[in-house]
Amino acid sequence: MVRNNICLNSHPAGCAENVRGQIEYTEKTLKKVKGQTPELTLIIGCSNGYGLASRIAAAFGYRAATVGVSYEKPPTENRTGTPGYYHNLAFDQEAAGSSLIYKTLDGDAFSNEMKKLSAEAARSAAAEMMILPKIDLIIYSLASPVRTDPETGVVYKSVIKPIGKSISGKTVNIMDGSFQIVEMESASEDEINNTVKVMGGEDFALWIEALNNEKLLSPKTRVIAYTYIGPEHTWSIYKNGTIGRAKDDLEKTVRAINQKYTEKGLIAGAWVSVNKALVTRSSAVIPVIPLYVSCLFRVMKEMNLHEGCIEQITRLYRDRLYKEKSCNSAEPETVPVDENGRIRMDDWEMRDDVQALVVEKMNAVTPENILETTDLTGFRNDFLAAHGFGIDSVNY
Ligand code: NAD
């Protein structure tokens, strides 16, 4: 049931296959190195997209205990559960089958209560692992349209809008390939501030503070928040819009965390990782992005550079965070970063040759040629798969 690029239902068996496929890829790609790779990991936003891949890679690649936090809905009599609900169930089942230690928490990550529960879960996971109660890796991978401020109870809503001027952008209906011109009004000051409140760094800072108060941080702790930048032709809606403003705030928070904790030797470091544009439940609803991603996928697949969530995250762990030399906590600066201190997993997406071909495609695409010239089919397949549909091995 897909309406306006939002899928309203999901399939449990297909979601379980998603998880198993990512586990299989991870087991071939990563390997645990005692004393170097993480043993206890916290993933905030663990049930879908980049967060799910981050959890699977830590658990099945490094055999780390994982505490996962997400906000999902179980099935009711006349509705299926959300895909993340089934992903979590499948993850737990596979982790149990592989004798891994895991704690899966469902509830609002923005609340003080969930921070407390996560700390308790981390301590109990550490006890089962017979290791010190210190979290080695914290991944912040939330994508949410609302946040309730834990102190005031005020509910803030984020919007996806340009800033400064209204724009119109071409977007594509991923199910039938039809185009739509979407008019987007410039955001008001309130809308900008509310989006920063939801998707900016405030809650991320509160998490680190709560974990520090719980004495769960150590000089080995690495902290990562995910972001996106993208090429200039998406900036009017993304980087220079409300979401971009929130992501700037997230980056500012990462710098503040480094000042407050890394410089005092309390953690190994905090980074933003700029990830590649991919099909997840969140990205399909951002105007312009589905068309851009369909063109990007076509180009990257033809150049043999294509990656999905699990390929991105295993590369992040193997070639950046736990790259041989960077494993020594005394030298966290050896994590490869750009001139602004960011980890760049969008390096292949942003290559000049890739972007030149993408721009060519975006300029030439019409509703008539979209199936031949772009990878709309790949986008649609990934979108359906993210909800457990269209998976070959499932007998629906
Ligand atoms: P997603 O929608 O697939 O997953 C979001 C996760 O957040 C889910 O696990 C969900 O349960 C959880 N969540 C949402 N609200 C919550 C709440 N109140 N409490 C607890 N959990 C909650 O998202 P995604 O596309 O994987 O994005 C994750 C991060 O990666 C975001 O910061 C996003 O900006 C970034 N990113 C995404 C892309 C992309 O193309 N999708 C690219 C680069 C970076």
Q: What is the pLDDT of residues 301-316, one digit of tens each?
A: 999 999 999 999 999 9
**Residue 364 forms part of a structural domain:** no
Q: Are 213 and 119 within 8 A, CB to CB?
A: no
Question: Could you tell me the distance, in angstroms and rounded to a whole number, from the CA of residue 204 to the centre of ligand 1?
Answer: 13
In the block, residue with structure tokens 């982790």:
95
Residue 264 pLDDT: 96
Cα separation, 288 vs 167, whole angstroms: 11
Q: Relative to the CA of 110, which ligand 1 atom is closest?
A: 18
User: Using a 6 Å cutoff on CB, does residue 85 contact ligand 1?
Assistant: no
Gap between the Cα atoms of 65 and 248, Å rounded = 31
In a domain, 359, yes or no: no
pLDDT of residue 280: 82
Sequence-ordered list of residues with C-beta below 8 angstroms from that of 175, at least 6 positions apart, any chain: 2, 380
Tens of pLDDT, residues 245-290:
999 999 999 999 999 999 999 999 999 999 999 988 777 878 888 8
Name which residue sits closest to atom 12 of ligand 1, judged by CA: 45
Catalytic center residues: 238
For residues 1-29, give the mean pLDDT.
95
pTM over 0.85: yes
Percentage of the chain surpassing pLDDT 90? 86
Q: Is 281 in the pocket of ligand 1 (CB under 6 A)?
A: yes
Q: DSSP state, 77? A: T
Residue 114 lies in a domain: yes
Q: Indicate whether 302 belongs to any domain.
A: no
For CA atoms 113, 119, 123, 128, the dihedral sign is positive
Q: Does position 330 have pLDDT exceeding 80, yes or no?
A: no
Q: Is residue 336 part of a domain?
A: yes
Report yes or no on 14 lying in a domain: yes
What is the domain range of residue 279?
Answer: 2-159+188-288+308-347
Q: Where are the beta strands (DSSP E) in the chain?
A: 2-3, 6-7, 40-44, 65-70, 102-106, 137-140, 146-148, 155-157, 167-172, 179-184, 222-227, 269-274, 343-344
Q: With respect to residue 164, please indicate whether it lies within any of the assigned structural domains.
A: no
Q: How many domains is the chain partitioned into structurally?
A: 1
Measuring from atom 2 of ligand 1, which residue has the nearest CA?
A: 282
Q: How far is the CA of 91 from the centre of ligand 1 (A)?
A: 17
CATH of residue 254's domain is 3.40.50.720
In whole angstroms, what is the distance from residue 200 CA to residue 210 CA? 17
Overall average pLDDT of the 38-67 stretch: 98
Whole-number Å distance, alpha carbon 68 to ligand 1 midpoint, is 13
Residue 396 lies in a domain: no
Number of helical (H) and strand (E) elements in the chain, helices listed first:
13, 13
Cβ of 277 closer than 6 Å to ligand 1, yes or no, is: yes
pLDDT at 331 > cutoff 70:
no
**Cβ neighbours, 10 Å, residue 152:** 8
